[in-house]
Copies of this chain bind each other. A is one copy, B any other.
Amino acid sequence: MNDPRDILEAVRDGTISVEDAERMLRSKPYVDLGFAKVDTQRRTRQGVSEVIYGASKTPQQSVLIAKTLMENGSGCVMITRCSKEVCETAKSEGLEAEFRDEARICIIGRIPEKKRASYICVVCAGTSDIPVAEEAAVTAEVLGCNVKRSYDVGVAGIHRLLSEADTIMGASAIVVAAGMEGALPSVVGGLVSVPVIAVPTSVGYGASFEGLTALLAMMNSCASTVSVVNIDNGFGAGYIASLIDKRGDN
């Protein structure tokens, strides 16, 4: 109970004393590990498993945060943008851990079982876009979704994309990762009537400006179904797609 409104209602209902209410308002809803404040109640607030952004942490730090979360009731924790060493450190700490190489994600604990029939489709333009696509795909899997992949279906070989049309058109939400001219989300977005989350990738050279060109192209998509996340942000795209897919549970 961290929300001021919850606390006030409890005071009104006589469930807690005013003194307790005061203390609660002052208490901080996290465990302080020194190098990080671990938000042990976030899962409640946002309804999903905790995610650790591994890029700016040592393997030891990432694993210690994961352990704290598991001890506070998380069933599954994912560490993004990390190396294999993180996974090994986790195992040596007695945690159940699995490393997804292309996605650069370490999964601690058990991926929840899928109960839905629906699936997310993750599409990418070229083989160089696969790491970003996999980050999206694994993220969605960890968050409880079924995922189908259609990789290497760039617009310069439009027949490849069309041969995947059934898979793409049956999804509840679609993630499309593409670099260079970033044209793929527009073509995919024109084929479907579900949201398309476009991820510009930093694949390309020269006037691709490390993904800026793809980002701008995707922002200007002539398909009304397309919204965009940051360059190389496969995690964010997979996360949003999972929220859309989950919407079908209601």
- Residues of A that sit less than 8 Å from B by CB: 2-5, 7-8, 11-12, 18, 21-22, 25-26, 28-30, 35-37, 39, 42, 45-48, 51, 56, 118, 125-128, 152, 154-160, 162-163, 165, 172-173, 180-183, 186-187, 189-195, 197, 200, 202, 204-233, 235-237, 239-240, 243-245, 247-248, 250
Contacts and interface: CB of A to CB of B under 8 A. Distances in A.
Contacts of A46: 192-193, 225
Given A180-B220, A219-B230, A240 B195 contact: yes
A233 B180 CA distance: 13
Contact of A125 (B126, B187, B222): B222
Contacts of A29: 159
Contacts of A221: 156, 180-181
A194 B216 CA distance: 25
Given A239-B225, A240-B227, A35 B127 contact: yes
A213 to B, nearest CB: 4
Given A157-B190, A158-B158, A194-B247, A224 B208 contact: no
A235 to B, nearest CB: 7
Given A8-B21, A156-B221, A228-B229, 8 more contacts: A8-B8, A155-B222, A181-B217, A183-B186, A187-B187, A205-B232, A208-B220, A227-B240
Contacts of A4: 4-5, 8
A60 to B, nearest CB: 15
Given A4-B8, A39-B157, A229 B219 contact: yes
A49 to B, nearest CB: 12
Contacts of A227: 197, 227-229, 236-237, 240
Given A11-B18, A156-B187, A156-B190, A224 B206 contact: no
15 contacts: A4-B4, A26-B163, A28-B163, A30-B160, A172-B247, A181-B186, A195-B243, A200-B206, A206-B215, A207-B215, A207-B230, A219-B231, A224-B239, A225-B243, A227-B236
